């Protein structure tokens, strides 16, 4: 083998398949033009697409299944709303905060919670982390239901909000583009992780913790980092969701089904692919809408049927069906 | 070609290493409940030295190995690396300091390609493209470059062994721990691996190897430690250890059994 005919070195460091992401972005961009009348559906679908993407940084890349992401969603929603409401904002702040500051504070709180929570529970292996996520979410739900400053079991109403970059935050069109930006942010971060040292360390930890430790990787630290990123993004999604809902109560926002829904969207879409969770969220939302009109209340049934179908026939999710050989994140091109 | 050419198993140790020891362990004892798996073992490895650990099955070689690399906690004793006490350091900390190991049952990250497997290790000392290039260079050194894009799960045993070695080497260690890297390979594979290990030692790497195959250990090691039932049986020059009556008895059994 002489130097002049050295074959092209295979590359490992890539951003993954950017084209699928661009196609996804294109679909999201034309949606308002085609379905301008169903903006409610569009906004909530995109928010959940972003949430599923955020969940996957922990659930897919780090392989740590969380069933408590509703708590992080709730932290984002409650923090922003409380800080924006004149009669609820703590006196020392001297008045309500603009929603973007509230969202940032919510993200910081979620990061802090994930840091403490992850540091404590990632020392355990196996399903203990998953159990802990259910427990923490339960505690946060109970606090929200039983405290005055959270509005108790009645929840919160969104107050008047200032305009954000000239956008009326209660305009569905504006909300759609904010949710659109949220999904793009989660896509960009996932692509960046795919190419990074963190991404490879997470995949190594997911497959074999001792093997990763032998290569100088601290598994707990890597999982905590993934959890913090996931939590920050989920809290941001929570703030958006609160604006979209305008009024929310702990019984809907903080319940286990929300956590399960986020996780299922990612798992059904394919936690092994970069865009899988967003695709899963969109497909589930579309199916949900179709089935709701056809079968009324039986739409919950489709979740059950889909989980069964996916676990039986497509363990790597819907996107896993289309990637030859490339079953997991590392090889997903 | 990047593969070291096949060399016959000469029976001379590589060379006489000198200088202060890089890794030192004194009085290592590992107990699991009431069982003492390793009892009061001491050793030292200098740069460029190959230390062979031998002994029958269940002698405690792998446990000692795990205690040295941090995967098992030593109940007693002290391990120092480059003068620093690392007795209680986590494996990942030891890896960062310059200790790399392979596993007896090779464990590639099956979902990653061969190159990506090594890249995970290369990230310890390099970033971005530099890490990728370093990973590829290491693959060339162990003769796996032509398999770089293949999924690690598709490699055969001999290539998995080399991938294990590549991952360890990508950490740019100063001491390398090889846990049965040669056993199970066919004779040409064994020769390639032996030649590779010899080259590594000549480049100044301290090597601790656990091995079953006597003639491999005898031909490679500068110093041999033979264990049985967790205890030191004999130690010293390979040929002296091989000729030691206790060692022969441990491997072949007593006359009056």
- Compare CB distances from A207 to B111, B128, B129 and report the shortest one's residue: B111
CA A196 to chain centre: 20
Residues on chain A touching B107 (C-beta within 8 angstroms):
208, 210-211
3-state SS string over A193-243?
A: HHHCHHHHHHHHHHHCHHHHHHCCCCHHHHHHHHHHHHHHHHHHHHHHHHH
List pLDDT tens digits, range B53-68.
988 888 889 899 999 9
Hey, of B1, B98, B112, which one would you mutate to test binding to chain A, going by the most A CBs within 10 A of its CB?
Answer: B112
Residues on chain A touching B129 (C-beta within 8 angstroms):
13
List pLDDT tens digits, range A94-150.
888 889 999 999 999 999 999 999 999 998 777 889 999 999 999 999 999 999 899
Orientation angle between helical segments A39-56 and A276-295, nearest 10 degrees: 140
Distance CA B136, CA B127 (A): 14
Contact B100 A214 (CB under 8 A): yes
Distance CA B212, CA B227 (A): 12
List pLDDT tens digits, range B152-175.
999 998 899 999 999 999 999 999
Q: Tell me what pLDDT residue A299 has.
A: 64
Contact A197 B123 (CB under 8 A): yes
Contact B92 A208 (CB under 8 A): no
List pLDDT tens digits, range A169-218.
888 999 999 999 999 999 999 999 999 999 999 999 999 999 999 999 99
User: pTM score, two decimals?
Assistant: 0.90
Q: How confident is the model at residue B6 (pLDDT cuts 50, 70, 90)?
A: very low
CA A184 to chain centre: 12
CA B14 to chain centre: 16
Q: Tell me what pLDDT residue A168 has.
A: 85
Hey, of A196, A205, A214, which one would you mutate to test binding to chain B, going by the most B CBs within 10 A of its CB?
Answer: A214
Report whether pLDDT(A1) > 50: no
For chain B, what percent of residues have pLDDT higher than 90? 60
- Minimum distance, in Å, between the CA of residue B124 and any CA atom of chain A: 7
- Compare CB distances from B111 to A211, A218, A328 and report the shortest one's residue: A328
List pLDDT tens digits, range B126-138.
999 999 999 999 9
List pLDDT tens digits, range B17-48.
667 899 999 999 999 988 999 999 999 999 99
Domain architecture of chain B: domains with CATH = 20-98+173-257 (3.40.50.300), 108-171 (no CATH)
Residues on chain A touching B100 (C-beta within 8 angstroms):
214
Report whether pLDDT(B10) > 60: no
Chain B: residues touching A (Cβ < 8 Å): 1, 69, 71, 90-92, 95-96, 100-101, 103, 107, 109-113, 115-116, 119-121, 123-124, 127-129, 131-132, 135-136, 148-149, 151, 167-168, 171
Q: Which residue has the higher pLDDT, B4 or B133?
A: B133
For chain B, what percent of residues have pLDDT higher than 70? 91
Longest dimension (CA), chain B: 64
Contact A211 B109 (CB under 8 A): yes
Q: Tell me what pLDDT residue B11 has.
A: 47
Contact A218 B116 (CB under 8 A): no
Contact B121 A215 (CB under 8 A): yes
In chain A, whose CA is at the least distance from the CA of B115? A12
Q: Percentages helix, strand, coil for chain B, rounded to the nearest 5? A: 40, 25, 40
- Minimum distance, in Å, between the CA of residue B216 and any CA atom of chain A: 25
Beta bridge mates, B30? B38
Report whether pLDDT(B7) > 50: no
Contact B128 A13 (CB under 8 A): yes
Region A30-34: mean pLDDT is 91
Report whether pLDDT(A261) > 80: yes
3-state SS string over A232-254?
A: HHHHHHHHHHHHHHCEECHHHHC
Distance CA A114, CA A70 (A): 13
Report whether pLDDT(A43) > 80: yes
Element (H, E) at B223: strand B223-228
Number of H helices, E strands in chain A: 14, 2
What three-state secondary structure class fits B32? strand
Chain A: residues touching B (Cβ < 8 Å): 1, 9-13, 197, 200-201, 203-204, 207-208, 210-218, 325, 327-331
Contact B107 A217 (CB under 8 A): no
Dihedral pair phi/psi, residue A99, rounded to 5°: -60, -30
Which residues, in sequence order, are CB contacts of B225 under 8 Å at separation 6+?
Answer: B41, B43, B51, B52, B53, B54, B232, B234, B235, B241
Q: Tell me what pLDDT residue A326 has.
A: 43
List pLDDT tens digits, range B198-239.
999 999 999 999 987 888 888 899 999 999 889 998 899 888
Contact A12 B132 (CB under 8 A): yes
Region A263-286: mean pLDDT is 91
Q: How confident is the model at residue B254 (pLDDT cuts 50, 70, 90)?
A: low
Dihedral pair phi/psi, residue B166, rounded to 5°: -60, -40
- Minimum distance, in Å, between the CA of residue B256 and any CA atom of chain A: 44
List pLDDT tens digits, range B82-114.
999 999 999 999 999 999 999 988 889 988 999
Contact B96 A216 (CB under 8 A): yes
List pLDDT tens digits, range A146-172.
998 998 888 899 888 888 888 888 889
Q: Tell me what pLDDT residue B16 has.
A: 55
Residues on chain A touching B127 (C-beta within 8 angstroms):
197
- Which of these, B242, B240, B236, B235, lies nearest to B216 by C-alpha position? B242
Dihedral pair phi/psi, residue A52, rounded to 5°: -65, -40
CA A310 to chain centre: 20
CA dihedral for A171, A172, A173, A174, sign (positive or negative): positive
Q: How confident is the model at residue B5 (pLDDT cuts 50, 70, 90)?
A: very low
Contact A327 B113 (CB under 8 A): no
- Minimum distance, in Å, between the CA of residue B241 and any CA atom of chain A: 31
Distance CA A53, CA A77 (A): 18
Residues on chain A touching B1 (C-beta within 8 angstroms):
1
Residues on chain A touching B160 (C-beta within 8 angstroms):
none
Q: Which residue has the higher pLDDT, A2 or A275?
A: A275
Region A24-35: mean pLDDT is 92
Report whether pLDDT(A333) > 50: no
Contact B113 A331 (CB under 8 A): yes
- Compare CB distances from A203 to B1, B95, B109 and report the shortest one's residue: B109
What three-state secondary structure class fits B3? coil
Distance CA A160, CA A138 (A): 30
Q: Tell me what pLDDT residue A142 has.
A: 95
List pLDDT tens digits, range A11-28.
888 888 889 999 999 999
- Compare CB distances from B112 to A197, A203, A325 and report the shortest one's residue: A203
CB atoms within 10 A of CB B76: 15
Region A235-252: mean pLDDT is 94
Q: Which residue has the higher pLDDT, A283 or B15?
A: A283
């Amino acid at each position: 083998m002489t130097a002049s005919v050295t074959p092209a070195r295979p590359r490992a460091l890539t951003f993954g398949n950017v084209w699928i992401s661009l196609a996804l972005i294109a679909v999201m961009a034309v949606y308002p033009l085609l379905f301008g009348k169903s903006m409610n559906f569009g906004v909530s679908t995109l928010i959940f697409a972003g949430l599923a993407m955020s969940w996957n940084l922990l659930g897919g890349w780090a392989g740590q299944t969380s069933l408590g992401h509703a708590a992080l969603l709730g932290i984002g929603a409650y923090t922003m709303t409380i800080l924006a409401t004149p009669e609820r904002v703590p006196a020392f702040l001297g008045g309500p905060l603009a929603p973007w500051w509230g969202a940032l504070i919510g993200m910081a709180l979620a990061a802090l919670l994930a840091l403490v929570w992850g540091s404590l529970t990632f020392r355990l292996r196996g399903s203990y982390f998953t159990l802990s996520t259910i427990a923490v979410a339960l505690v946060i739900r109970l606090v929200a239901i039983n405290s005055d400053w959270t509005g108790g079991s009645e929840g919160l109403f969104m107050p008047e909000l200032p305009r954000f970059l000239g956008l009326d935050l209660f305009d569905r069109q504006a909300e759609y583009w904010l949710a659109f930006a949220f999904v793009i942010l989660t896509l960009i971060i996932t692509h960046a992780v795919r190419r990074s040292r963190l991404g490879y360390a997470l995949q190594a930890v997911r497959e074999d913790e001792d093997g990763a430790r032998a290569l100088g990787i601290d598994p707990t630290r890597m999982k905590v980092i993934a959890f913090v990123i996931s939590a920050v993004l989920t809290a941001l999604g929570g703030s958006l969701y609160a604006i979209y809902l305008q009024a929310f109560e702990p019984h809907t926002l903080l319940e286990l089904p929300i956590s399960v829904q986020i996780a299922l969207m990612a798992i059904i879409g394919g936690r092994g692919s970069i865009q899988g969770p967003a695709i899963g969220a969109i497909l589930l939302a579309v199916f949900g809408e179709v089935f709701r009109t056809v079968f009324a209340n039986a739409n919950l049934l489709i979740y059950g049927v889909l989980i069964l179908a996916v676990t039986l026939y497509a363990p790597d999710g819907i996107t896993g069906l289309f990637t030859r050989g490339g079953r997991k994140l590392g090889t997903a091109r | 070609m990047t593969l070291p050419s096949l060399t016959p198993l000469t029976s001379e140790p590589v060379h006489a290493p000198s200088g202060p020891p890089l890794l030192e362990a004194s009085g290592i004892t590992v107990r699991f409940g009431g069982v003492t798996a390793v009892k009061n073992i001491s050793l030292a490895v200098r740069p460029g030295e190959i230390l062979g650990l031998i002994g029958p099955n269940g002698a405690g070689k792998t446990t000692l190995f795990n205690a040295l690399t941090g995967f098992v906690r030593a109940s007693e004793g002290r391990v120092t690396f480059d003068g620093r006490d690392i007795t209680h350091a986590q494996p990942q900390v030891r890896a960062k300091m310059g200790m790399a190991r392979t596993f007896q049952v090779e464990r590639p990250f099956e979902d990653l390609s061969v190159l990506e497997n090594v890249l995970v290790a290369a990230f310890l000392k390099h970033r971005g493209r530099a890490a990728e290039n370093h990973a590829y260079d290491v693959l060339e050194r162990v003769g796996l470059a032509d398999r770089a894009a293949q999924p690690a799960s598709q490699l055969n045993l001999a290539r998995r062994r080399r991938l294990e070695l590549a991952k360890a080497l990508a950490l740019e260690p100063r001491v390398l721990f090889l846990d049965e890297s040669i056993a199970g390979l066919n004779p040409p594979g064994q020769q390639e691996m032996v030649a590779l290990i010899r080259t590594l030692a000549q480049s100044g790497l301290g090597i601790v190897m656990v091995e079953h195959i006597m003639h491999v250990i005898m031909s490679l090691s500068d110093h041999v430690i033979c264990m049985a039932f967790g205890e030191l049986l004999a130690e010293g020059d390979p040929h002296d250890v091989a000729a030691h009556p206790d060692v022969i008895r441990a491997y072949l059994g007593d006359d009056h059994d």
